[in-house]
Amino acid sequence: MAGPAAYILDLDGVVYHGKSVIPGAAETIERLRAAGSRVVFLTNNATRTREDIAGKLEGMGIRCSAGDVISSAYSTSLHIRQQYGPSTIFPIGEQGLVTELERAGHTIAWQDVDCVVVGLDRQFTYDKLAAGLANLRKGARFIATNTDAMLPNEDDFLPGAGSMVAALAAASGMVPEVVGKPNRPIMDVLLREYGLEAGDCIMVGDRLETDILGGKNVGMHTVLVLTGASSVEDVETSGIRPDTILDSIADIE
């Protein structure tokens, strides 16, 4: 019996924690590839380019190229181009987001823009918030790479992109169009990019509200691993039901 066409893997909490590889992750990924399945890394991270993310994985001993990565920055750049054409964009975000937007043929500007795109920005300022508001009030579209409220690090959590998105939403009274998991745009970009059918894919994640819900929204088989954010208890309280629950990525057969 043929295996799935692709395993779609979240990163932090599934493949690694911060700078440490989860035991058995590298071996499992190679085993899945050897069995004939494609492995795609799907992340809401919008601060790095696909090459940067692939480089981090390579440095951890996990074989990866930029073509194996779908990030929310990359997906946002393609989604805007596909839906609205090449656009002038004011980004609230870091260099990885800017690079992906420019590669997709968009122009970066501070005013008179078509879209305001918000991702995680660790140099977020009042001036950026004010510029974003001014552009929205002039008719720009409000697009968020993702709305993850918190970002895991080695010790605890830091504010995520959702914090910046919420600030601009509060100021403008507008609801953003959100690209990243669990929303359809990032999943549609992934399926188009590799010519995949959702029913032939297995989504593996550690967060019910992003990874598992994102997979379920498009009809993927979903696997929750317990090495990250969500627990078995969370499954009971959230109402989001993964198809399979495993202790770790190493337990995928």
Catalytic residues: 10, 12
Q: Is the dihedral of CA 99, 104, 108, 114 positive or negative?
A: negative
How far does the chain reach from its first CA to its final CA, in angstroms? 13
Q: Which of 228, 230, 250, 237 is nearest to 12 (CA)?
A: 228
Hey, what are 35's tokens? 């069995």
Calpha distance 164→162 (Å, rounded): 5
Contacts of 195 by beta carbon, 8 Å cutoff, 6+ apart: none
Contacts of 239 by beta carbon, 8 Å cutoff, 6+ apart: none
Backbone angles phi, psi at 182, to 5 degrees: -95, 20
| Three-state DSSP class for residue 63 | coil
CA neighbours closer than 13 Å in the CB half-sphere of residue 225: 26
